[in-house]
Structure 1
Amino acid sequence: MSRTLFPHSTVSPLYASGQANIIFQAHPPFHSPYDGSNSMQARGEYKTSLVGTLFLGAQPHRKTRYNTDLILDIESAGGRGISQALGLAGFTNLDVVRNPNLGSKPYIARVQVHQTIGFTNEMVEAERTPFSLATQVPARRLELRLGKMSLPDVFDQNAVGSDSHFQFTNWTVDNNGAWDYAADTRGYTYAFVAEYQSPAWGARYATALMPTIANGINLDWALRRANGQNAEVEWHRGLVSHWLPRERKGMVRVLSFVNHADMGRYREAVQAYLAGKDVRPDIDAHHRQSSVKYGFGINTEQEITSDLRAFARWGWNEGQHESWAYTEVDSTVAAGADLTGMRWSRPRDKVGVAFVTNGIKQDHQNYLKYGGLGFLLGDGNLTYGRENILETYYQAALARGLSMTLGVQYIEHPGYNRDRGPVLVPSVRTHVEF
C-alpha cells in the first residue's frame, strides 16, 4: 500500500494499519442580523479536529473463493468543529462528532465478520483495504457483513467524493445529504449487509439499528420498532462511458432507504405551536413510534482522462418527518471533479472542486421559521434560501504516507437562511497513514 509510511504485506493473514487526520478550520465574521441557539456563530472563530484510527484484521483461513475477514477498528475523535458543528446542513468537516460532550476517549468504531462466497473459480484483482483483506476475489460473489460499521463504508461510495481524509471534507459532498442513514452520533450502527457483485453490475441490501433519539448515541435494539432499510444497485459503467475509451472507468449507483423510528412530523409541531399548545414548535413533543421516513439517491462517477475524474450526486427524501440521524437535508444536488498533478510533474498531488446545493421542504422551513430547533439547525427565524456550498482543495504529497491539504469552502445561505452569510471557511488538513 503505497500511501502508508511503511509497506504492508499483501499475503499475511493478519492486518494492522492506522491513520491520523487533523483538520484546522476557521472563518471570519459574517453578516448576521440575528442568531439562535443552533446558529453558526457570526463572530470569527477557529477550531481543530483530530481523528485517529487503528485498523486490525485477520483471515482465519486462506480459501480465496470463500474468504473470511474478522475486522476490529479502534478510534478516537477529538477536538471541535466550528460552532460546535451547528448551523449548517452541509457542515464543513466530516470528521467532527456532533456531540462534543462525548470527548476523545477511544471507542470501538467497527467490529464485524466479512464473509465472501464465490460463485465462480474466475478470480479478479482487488485492493486490500481495512474492510476487505483479500487481494483476489471471485468475479461473481456474495459478500456478507455482520456487526458494527458505518453504512457509508459500503453504500453511496464514490471514487472522487467519499473520503474526507484525501478528498473533500463537507458532509454533503462526501455523502448524499438527503440519505438519512442509520447511525449513532459518531456515525456508526450495528447492521447486516448482503452484497452481490458481478463484472457488469452489483447490488447490496442492509438492515441497521436506528438511534433512540435524533442524533443520539444510543441505538434501539428492537428491530420491530425501529430499523433502517437500505438498498443500492450499481452498474459498472458511467453515464458517458460509451463516448469514452473502454479503459475509462465509470459507475452509476441508485440508492433507496426506508427508516422506521420514533420520529415527529414538522407540520404537527407547527400546528400545535400556532394553536397555542406549545410555546414554540417542538418536534420532540410530537413523536410517533415506528414513523416512516424514506428517500432515494443517484450517484455517478466517471474517469474522463488518465488524470481527470468527475462525479455527481442527487438525493431526495419525503421531508415531512424530522431529520433523524445524519443531517437536515431533504433534497440535494452535487457535482465536482478532481485532477492529479501529472501535468505539473507532481503526480501524487491532487486538486479538487465541488458544488452542492441543499434544500428542505415547506413544512421543515416553517418549523425553523417559527423558532423550532432541529439537532443541527435553528436560527430563531428563517428567510428561506437553498444552502449553496462551493468547496475546493489542493492536496500535496509531502512524503510516503504523509500529505497536507489546503482547502476553502464558500457557503451561501448557511442553515438555509438568506438573512445570514455568506461565509468563507478556509482549512488546513494533515493526514498520516501508517
Structure 2
Amino acid sequence: MAAISSLPYNVPVQYCLPQPLVIMPMTFRKAARTLLIPCLFAVSTAYAQQPPAQAPDPEVTAPQVTIFPHTDTSRYLIAGQANIIFQGHPGFHSPYEGTNSLLARGEYKVSMVGTLFLGLQLHHNLRYNTDAIYNLESSGGRGVSEALGLAGFTNLDVVRNPNLGSVPYTARVQLHQTIGLTDKLIDTQRTQLSLATKVPERRFDLRVGRMSLPDVLDVNGPGSDSHLQFLNWTADNNGAWDYAADTRGYTYAFVTEYDDIHWSARYVFGLMPTVANGVDLDWNLRRARGDNYEFEYRKTPFAFLPERLLSPERKGAVRLLSFVNHADMGVYRDAIDAALTARANGDPSAVPVITAHAPGTTVKYGFGLNFEQELTQDLRTFGRFGWNEGQHQSFAYTEVDQTFELGGDLAGNRWSRPNDKVGLAGISNAIKRDHQQYLALGGLGFLLGDGKLNYAREDILEAYYTAHNWRGLFTAFDVQLIAHPGYNQDRGPVAMFSIRTHVDF
C-alpha cells in the first residue's frame, strides 16, 4: 500500500515539442476514417486468423489481475491502484486562441492518480450488511492546456484546478447499509465500495458520506472506467449531466436505492459547489443541492430483434437518468444582454461575464439515457444520450448541453489474451444557442473560451487497446480524434495520443 501513496508525483509535466507538426483542416468524416478503418481491419483480421473461442475450462485458474491476492471472505479490504497517463498532441490549425483555448502548438503532459481503498464490514449479516468505506487519493501532474479548450476533455484523471497539487486528500468516506427484504440471496461481486459477496434479491441500499455520483449513477459496463477503458470525459460519463461535485469530482451525498430482480430505482442528492468548478461545497440545502433520479432495467433493450440476430440470453441494461440542480448559477441570456447594452453605450470591448449577477438560487435540469448490450461472448455495445436545458451556467462537470455516444468493446479471447480489450466510441457534443452566443461574444466558461466562436458540434472518435501484462499491471494505447475543439470549426482537427499504465494492488 505504501507504494501507492509514495508515487513520484513531482515529475515535470509539461514539455513543448520543439518543431510542432500542424494538422491541416479536414472533415471529421475523413479524420474518422483514418482511425476507424485500421481498427476495423485489425479486429476483422484477428477474427479471421484465430480459431473460434473455446469455452473456459473450469479446471483452469483465472489469471490474477491484482499484484497481491485478495480474499472475498475477509471482513476487511485493503487495496489500491495507480494510474499514470502520458498524453500529447501535435500542432493543429488555429487562426486564433483565447484565454481558455486548447493550445495549438504541440504539447504533452503526464497525469498521475493513486488511490488507497479501505473497507470494513461493521455488521456482517447476509440480510443486513453494513460497510464502512474510506479512500485516500493523490492526484498529480496536469492535463494538456491545463484541461481547457475542450468540452469532451481527453483525460478524466485530470483535476480541473491545477493549483491544488498532489497532497493526499480524502476521496471517499461513507457508510453503506443493505436492508434485505427477502431471505433469497444472489451472488454479487465484491468491489472497493461494497464488500458483500451475497445480497438479498430484493433490498434497499443506503449510502451516506463523501463520494462521486458516477459511482452509483450512469454506470455503464463498457464505458465508465477511465483506468482500463476510454479516457474522454464524455465517453465515460454523460457530458450533459452537470452532476454535483467539487473540482476534484467528489461531493457529500445521500443515496437511496431499491433493487429488485430485474430493475432498480435510485434517488441521490448531493452538495453543489459554491461557485462553478469550485473547491468548496455549499452546505445550505435550501439554497443549493443536486437532486438525481435513475431507473435501471436489467434486460436487453433489443428484445424486439429476432433470436437469430440476438440471443435472449445475452445480458443488457437500459438506464434513465434525470437531474435538477439548485445553485447560484448565472443565466447566459442575462450576461449577453448586459454585454450588448454596454457596447451600445460606448464600450466596444465589453464581453459577457456569466458570474456578474446578483446572488440567488437558479435551477438547471436535464435527462440522460444509457444502455449496454452483450452481443457475443466477447463483444459488447453501449450508448448514451444526454440533454439539459442549457440556459443556465455550466457549473460542475463540463460545458455540454446535449450529447450522443455510441461505442463498444471486444475482449481478447480470440487472440488468446482474455484480459486484453479493444474499444471504439464516437461522441458528438453540442451547446444551446444562448451558450453559443455567449462564447462568440468573448465570454468565458470554466473550461471554454476562444475569444470568438464559429459554432459547430464537437465530434470525438476514441479508440484504445488495453493489454494485461502481468497480475495487476496493465498498459494501454489510446487515440482520440477531435473535430471542432471547443465547438469552434475555425480550429482543429486535433489528434490526441495517450499511453496509460495502470496498476491494481
Please classify the TM superposition score into its range, dividing by the shorter chain length.
over 0.9
In structure 2, the CA distance between the partners of 1:88 and 1:287, relative to structure 1 (3 Å rule), is farther
Please tell me the residue identity of whatever aligns with 2:320.
V
The residue number in structure 2 matching 1:303 is 374
Q: 2:192 aligns with which of 130, 152, 160?
A: 130
Answering whether residue 498 of structure 2 is matched by residue 432 of structure 1, we say no
Question: Equivalents in 2 of 1:348, 1:179: separation in Å?
Answer: 31
| Residue pair 2:65, 2:470 contacting (<8 A) in 1 also | no
Q: 2:253 aligns with which of 187, 191, 211?
A: 191
SS, match of residue 101 in structure 1: helix
The residue number in structure 2 matching 1:56 is 118
Question: Equivalents in 1 of 2:124, 2:351: separation in Å?
Answer: 61
Please tell me the residue identity of whatever aligns with 1:400.
R
The residue number in structure 2 matching 1:119 is 181
Answering whether residue 494 of structure 2 is matched by residue 423 of structure 1, we say yes
User: How many correspondences in the alignment?
Assistant: 434
The residue number in structure 2 matching 1:368 is 439
Question: Equivalents in 2 of 1:3, 1:173: separation in Å?
Answer: 24
The residue number in structure 1 matching 2:155 is 93
Q: 1:22 aligns with which of 57, 81, 84?
A: 84
The residue number in structure 2 matching 1:411 is 482
| Residue pair 2:117, 2:136 contacting (<8 A) in 1 also | yes
| Residue pair 1:340, 1:349 contacting (<8 A) in 2 also | yes
In structure 2, the CA distance between the partners of 1:176 and 1:287, relative to structure 1 (3 Å rule), is farther
Question: Equivalents in 2 of 1:164, 1:390: separation in Å?
Answer: 15
The residue number in structure 2 matching 1:208 is 270
- Structure 1, gaps ≥5 residues long: none
The residue number in structure 2 matching 1:38 is 100
Deviation for aligned residue 1:288:
4.5
Question: Equivalents in 1 of 2:211, 2:232: separation in Å?
Answer: 21
Residue identity (%): 65
Question: Equivalents in 2 of 1:130, 1:384: separation in Å?
Answer: 42
Deviation for aligned residue 1:242:
5.4
Answering whether residue 210 of structure 2 is matched by residue 148 of structure 1, we say yes
Deviation for aligned residue 1:257:
0.1
| Residue pair 1:304, 1:310 contacting (<8 A) in 2 also | yes
The residue number in structure 2 matching 1:248 is 314
Question: Equivalents in 2 of 1:386, 1:303: separation in Å?
Answer: 30
1:57-78 alpha-carbon deviations (Å, 9 max, x no partner) = 0001221100000000000000
Question: Equivalents in 2 of 1:268, 1:107: separation in Å?
Answer: 38
Deviation for aligned residue 1:7:
1.1
Answering whether residue 392 of structure 2 is matched by residue 321 of structure 1, we say yes
Deviation for aligned residue 1:245:
2.3
In structure 2, the CA distance between the partners of 1:359 and 1:2, relative to structure 1 (3 Å rule), is same
| Residue pair 1:241, 1:248 contacting (<8 A) in 2 also | no
| Residue pair 1:241, 1:302 contacting (<8 A) in 2 also | no
1:19-55 alpha-carbon deviations (Å, 9 max, x no partner) = 0000110000000000101000000000000000000
The range that moved more, 311-320 or 283-292, is: 283-292
Question: Equivalents in 2 of 1:37, 1:371: separation in Å?
Answer: 10
| Residue pair 1:341, 1:350 contacting (<8 A) in 2 also | yes
| Residue pair 1:21, 1:165 contacting (<8 A) in 2 also | yes
1:107-159 alpha-carbon deviations (Å, 9 max, x no partner) = 00000000000000010001000100000000000000000000000000000
The residue number in structure 2 matching 1:78 is 140
1:288-299 aligned at under 5 Å gives the runs 288-299=359-370
Deviation for aligned residue 1:290:
1.4
The residue number in structure 1 matching 2:22 is none
Q: 2:236 aligns with which of 159, 165, 174?
A: 174
In structure 2, the CA distance between the partners of 1:413 and 1:20, relative to structure 1 (3 Å rule), is same
Name the TM-score, length of structure 2 as normaliser: 0.85
The residue number in structure 1 matching 2:287 is 225
Greater strand share, structure number: 1
SS, match of residue 479 in structure 2: strand
The residue number in structure 2 matching 1:275 is 341
The residue number in structure 2 matching 1:235 is 297
| Residue pair 2:331, 2:391 contacting (<8 A) in 1 also | yes
Please tell me the residue identity of whatever aligns with 1:368.
L
Which is greater in Rg?
Answer: 2
Question: Equivalents in 2 of 1:287, 1:214: separation in Å?
Answer: 15
| Residue pair 1:18, 1:433 contacting (<8 A) in 2 also | yes
Question: Equivalents in 2 of 1:29, 1:295: separation in Å?
Answer: 36
Please tell me the residue identity of whatever aligns with 2:395.
W
Question: Equivalents in 2 of 1:267, 1:137: separation in Å?
Answer: 50
Question: Equivalents in 1 of 2:144, 2:321: separation in Å?
Answer: 31
1:177-207 alpha-carbon deviations (Å, 9 max, x no partner) = 0000000000000000000001111000011
Please tell me the residue identity of whatever aligns with 1:84.
E
1:212-266 alpha-carbon deviations (Å, 9 max, x no partner) = 0000000000000000000000000121145432331100000000000000000
Deviation for aligned residue 1:342:
1.0
Question: Equivalents in 2 of 1:29, 1:128: separation in Å?
Answer: 45
Question: Equivalents in 2 of 1:189, 1:333: separation in Å?
Answer: 26
Name the TM-score, length of structure 1 as normaliser: 0.99
Deviation for aligned residue 1:357:
0.2
The residue number in structure 1 matching 2:458 is 387
In structure 2, the CA distance between the partners of 1:287 and 1:427, relative to structure 1 (3 Å rule), is farther
Please tell me the residue identity of whatever aligns with 1:267.
R
1:344-363 aligned at under 5 Å gives the runs 344-363=415-434
| Residue pair 1:236, 1:250 contacting (<8 A) in 2 also | yes
1:302-335 alpha-carbon deviations (Å, 9 max, x no partner) = 0000000000000000000000000000000001
Deviation for aligned residue 1:82:
0.5
SS, match of residue 343 in structure 1: helix
Answering whether residue 406 of structure 2 is matched by residue 335 of structure 1, we say yes
- Structure 2, gaps ≥5 residues long: 1-62
Deviation for aligned residue 1:3:
2.1
